[in-house]
Amino acid sequence: MNAAADGYGSSCIMSMSLDGCGKEQLKTQFVTREGVYKLLTLATYSRPNRIGYNVQTNTSVRVSFVGYSSSDTNGNNDRMCFNIGRELYVFYYKGTKKGADLTKPIDKKLYKGISPTCHDFNSTAITEDSLPLIVGFSTGLLQLIDPVRKDVSVLFNEEKIIDKTKVTCVKWVPNSKHLFLASHASGQLYLYNETFTCGTTTPSYQQVKSGEGYTVHTCKTKSTRNPMYRWLIGGDYNSINEFAFSPCSLYLAVVSQDGFLRVFHYDKMELIGMARSYFGGFLCVCWSPDSRYIVVGGEDDLVTVYSISENRVIARGQGHHSWVSVVAFDPYTSTPPSMEPCLPGYYRLGSVGHDTQMCLWDITDDILHHVTLVSPLPVTSKQNGVVNNVKHNANANNVQKQTQDPMRLIGTTACPRFDQCPRLEPLICKKIAHDRLTALIFREDCFVAACQNGYVYTWARPGTITSLNAHLVSDPNSIMSSLDLPSLNPTSAV
């Protein structure tokens, strides 16, 4: 596909030249219509010695949060987990209230020969005495740990008989104390029950569901074992880069290296919608707070907005100069539109990328209701928008090949051309790190961003800086000077 034909190539080159070849100074504050966002330099989390990690690693720094209400925590109700290289840390997160005390982690682990790649707290099962945390690794291993109890360590896929490739994303199933999903670079998605074993022999599967671009299998065993289900999405070794459950818990959005967003009704295991990237793979995905919209980002340097109800791409955002690594809605700034047409609203979106920049976007009512003439998706065997099941004895390989011709979707509702849908411009686009950004999470009083060399930044929202925490923004050079190119730190490698 010729990107320049739609005007994207030339505009991207122009944007890169205006960027000053990446020499822009790091920002410690920026202004939006809400006010001034400020970097809390003394609330930056990292390794205890504050030495950046060797950025040659391919393992991205990920951040997970969980909150727990208790009268005995002295206000430290939130816990944060992040991985750096072969290390995993869990801290009390004090946000904008207090500085980061890196000398007192709740738990820390150093792994030999493997690196943590993703993790997720079980917010349903957390108690005062238990903090279940599932961790995925570069070798395909999964581990359930408890940073509070310390004595909990349950391994899944330990012998690599289920999958030998990297775990790319792991999430607890909403409202479940025991079920979690794990995706791999092999293109497989597995459902585990933390109370079941994985067995000692290679699983034998039987197909239970199939549709356009996916098949679902269950284990053929006399006794229940893990994995409970295996999804193959988009074909063998088409890496699933990320997945996300909708806030309403009904749907599952999956993005893959083949450039597809696929949306499933999770319990029914049915495909209800899809979209495709302009070019390259999709790397990240998120849901709007009301489960109406999905935003994805990836190797086309764009953010793409998809409507569930309309089953189409409704807008693209252009502002990054490299791959978009994380997208996230800001539920505290967004005002979702009412069901009444006379009450417009908007969604605030954030994105970070390999260009070390953070962009903020407003998806306004005029974008949400913009009408364009785009061809519908090519006809498939669907009824009521859901792909029909394929019989258990059908050839799964043939099923997978049905959507592997991406060119047939160009100019359709799944992948409109650049002149066929609205183009978003970022509200702000600021360089906030020296290395590629890998995490973005919006919280009530701040947002948290992480970069590849192992620093987790806290940015205070407008109006949250008072006389009690003003010292957290003092002397920005004290930490920012240590965040210069990690190659200058000869001891940065583990």
Segment 371-378 shows an average pLDDT of 65
| DSSP reduced 3-state for 138 | coil
Sign of the CA dihedral with 222 first, then 224, 225, and 231 last? positive
Residue 409 lies in a domain: no
Distance CA 413, CA 230 (A): 29
Domains contained in the chain, number: 2
The pLDDT of residue 3 is: 43
Distance CA 276, CA 304 (A): 9
Distance CA 472, CA 240 (A): 39
Same domain, 114 and 228: yes
Of the residues 431, 462, 478, which one is the last residue of a structural domain? 431
Same domain, 210 and 353: no
Residue 378 lies in a domain: no
Same domain, 221 and 168: yes
More confident residue, 475 or 45: 45
Helix, strand, coil % over all residues of the chain, rounded to 5 = 10, 40, 50
Confidence of residue 410 (pLDDT cuts 50, 70, 90): confident
pLDDT in tens, 377-398: 665 544 333 334 434 344 344 4
The pLDDT of residue 462 is: 96
Same domain, 160 and 140: yes
pLDDT in tens, 444-464: 999 999 999 999 999 999 999
Neighbours of 310 (CB within 10 A): 14
Neighbours of 128 (CB within 10 A): 12
The pLDDT of residue 396 is: 43
The DSSP H or E segment spanning 479 is helix 477-480
Backbone φ and ψ of 95, nearest 5°? 55, -130
More confident residue, 407 or 18: 407
Range of the domain at 328: 236-371+418-431
Residue 334 lies in a domain: yes
Distance CA 210, CA 386 (A): 11
Same domain, 219 and 254: no
Instruction: Give the tokens for residue 26.
Output: 């790091």
- pLDDT over threshold 60, residue 474: no
DSSP sequence for 241-300: EEEEE-TTSSEEEEEETTSEEEEEETTTTEEEEEEE-SSS-EEEEEE-TTSSEEEEEETT
In terms of DSSP bridges, do strands 312-318 and 423-424 run parallel, antiparallel, or are they unpaired? parallel
Q: To the nearest whole number, what is the mean pLDDT of the chain?
A: 84
Residue 40 lies in a domain: yes
**Whether the Cβ atoms of residue 444 and residue 332 lie closer than 8 Å to each other:** yes
Residue 479 lies in a domain: no
**Whether the Cβ atoms of residue 465 and residue 473 lie closer than 8 Å to each other:** yes
- pLDDT over threshold 60, residue 486: no
Q: What is the 3-state secondary structure (H, E, C) of 188-234?
A: EEEEEECCCCCCCCCCCEEEEEEECCEEEEEECCCCCCCCCEEEEEC
Residue 148 lies in a domain: yes
Same domain, 333 and 203: no
The pLDDT of residue 4 is: 39
In terms of DSSP bridges, do strands 357-364 and 346-353 run parallel, antiparallel, or are they unpaired? antiparallel
The pLDDT of residue 235 is: 83
The pLDDT of residue 464 is: 93
pLDDT in tens, 280-293: 999 999 999 999 99
DSSP sequence for 227-253: -SEEEEESSTT--EEEEEE-TTSSEEE
The pLDDT of residue 72 is: 55
Chain CA centroid to CA 137, Å = 16
More confident residue, 169 or 13: 169
Residue 486 lies in a domain: no
Same domain, 192 and 255: no
Neighbours of 135 (CB within 10 A): 23
The pLDDT of residue 400 is: 44
DSSP sequence for 101-121: -TT--SEEEE-SS--EEEEEE
Same domain, 128 and 109: yes
Same domain, 264 and 365: yes
Contacts of 13-20 with C-beta under 8 Å, sequence gap 24+, read 15/318, 15/319, 15/321, 16/321, 19/321, 19/355
pLDDT in tens, 48-77: 876 666 545 678 999 999 998 765 555 558
Instruction: Give the tokens for residue 17.
Output: 């030249």
Sign of the CA dihedral with 41 first, then 47, 325, and 280 last? positive
- In terms of residues, how long is the chain? 494
CATH of the domain at 108: 2.130.10.10
pTM (predicted TM-score): 0.86
Residue 260 lies in a domain: yes
pLDDT in tens, 214-239: 999 999 888 889 999 999 999 888 99
**Whether the Cβ atoms of residue 41 and residue 480 lie closer than 8 Å to each other:** yes
Same domain, 221 and 333: no
More confident residue, 364 or 25: 364
**Whether the Cβ atoms of residue 325 and residue 283 lie closer than 8 Å to each other:** yes
The pLDDT of residue 475 is: 52
Same domain, 244 and 177: no
The pLDDT of residue 439 is: 98
Same domain, 217 and 250: no
